[in-house]
Amino acid sequence: MGGPEPLRMTSDGPEATAALGSGLAALLGPGDLVLLRGELGAGKTTLVRAVARALGVEGPVTSPTFTVAQRYAGRVPVAHLDAYRLSSPDDEELGLALEAIGDDAVALVEWPDVLAGGLPEPRLEVELRHEGGDRRLVVLTTADPRLHAGLDALVAHLRARHRHPPAEPRPARGG
């Protein structure tokens, strides 16, 4: 993917990855495809769950184990695919995946590479890399300058919040 440089941030735990997901949700809309890469346990589903929650999805959001794709109803439909189990998808499996992605949903695909050639152009690619313990390096790549600007602002916001966590509520005075 050409275009602007990838953005990088460090997540120091599942909450930080979820905060990124909530922020991403605000930058995504119907028809957007997000590809998520990273080893087992890197946090792909954690990120997807946070995106879905922020889009109003209430039920469980887990990696679809027996189906490749699942759709959740939110303010915007959310399509969640996990191609981990697919070794070499046949046309029917690819067809089902494309059907689930549709053109009306925010679609997020874990382990997308086996499907890659058959998928539409992603608006965003996310890679999560293990960096020891709970630390993950997150690399965000988009060719869309408007999304890139939004991501840049989001990453800056998350870094600032991390450096200056919200103050504890002060105990009430007097009393």
Q: Which residues bind Mg ion (CB under 5 A)?
A: 44-45, 63, 110
Q: Does 41 bind ligand ATP (CB under 6 A)?
A: yes
Report which residue type is found at 54.
Answer: A
Using CB under 6 A, pick the residue from 45, 107, 123, 148 that binds ligand ATP: 45
Nearer to Mg ion, 3 or 62 (CB): 62
Query: Do residues 17 and 11 lie in contact, with contact meaning Cβ atoms separated by under 8 Å?
Result: yes
Query: Do residues 11 and 130 lie in contact, with contact meaning Cβ atoms separated by under 8 Å?
Result: no
Q: Which of residues 132-151 bind ligand ATP (CB under 6 A)?
A: 134, 136
Q: Find the part of the chain contacting ligand ATP (CB under 6 A) among 1-9, 41-49, 89-97, 163-171.
A: 41-49
| Edge-first strand listing for the sheet containing 78-82 | 7-11, 136-141, 124-130, 33-37, 106-110, 78-82, 69-72
Report how far apart, in Å, the C-alpha atoms of 2 and of each of 25, 26, 32, 129, 138 are. 23, 24, 18, 21, 18
Nearer to Mg ion, 32 or 110 (CB): 110
| Residue at token pair 């953005």 | 7
- Smallest distance from ligand ATP to CB 155, Å: 15
Binding positions for ligand ATP, rule: CB under 6 A: 11, 13-14, 16-17, 38, 40-46, 63, 110, 134, 136
